């Protein structure tokens, strides 16, 4: 392992834009080959509206890019690899 002189906090998240928890859940079921109807629920409906939440909470990765770090693969690929690793049936 090579020691680096790039200290501090870095935000890292998988690539391919952003997604909602709803879309993530749907993709999860789809890749497992399950025919499940997922209903989207708003923050208000879920009852979490008592906590102020930003309209956009995506992580910025500018610092990673500026310091030459390799970005993570897209989130769909990461989900597929995870499901395969835990030995679940993954089908596109």
User: E strands, the chain, where?
Assistant: none
Task: Copy the structure tokens of residue 51.
Answer: 């906590």
pTM of the model: 0.66
pLDDT score recorded for residue 13? 82
pLDDT score recorded for residue 91? 56
Name 31's Cβ contacts closer than 8 Å, sequence gap at least 6.
79, 80, 83, 90, 91, 92
pLDDT score recorded for residue 37? 94
50, pLDDT greater than 70: no
39, pLDDT greater than 90: yes
Token pair 């990461």: residue: 78
Partners of 74 in the β-ladder = 15
């Amino acid at each position: 392992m090579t020691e680096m002189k790039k200290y501090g906090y870095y935000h890292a998240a998988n690539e391919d834009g952003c997604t909602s928890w709803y879309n993530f859940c749907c993709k999860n079921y789809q890749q497992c080959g399950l025919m499940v109807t997922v209903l989207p629920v708003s923050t208000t409906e879920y009852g979490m509206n008592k906590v102020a939440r930003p309209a956009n909470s995506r992580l910025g990765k500018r610092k990673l890019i500026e310091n030459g770090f390799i970005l993570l693969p897209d989130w769909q690929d990461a989900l597929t690899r995870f499901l395969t690793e835990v030995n679940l049936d993954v089908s596109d």
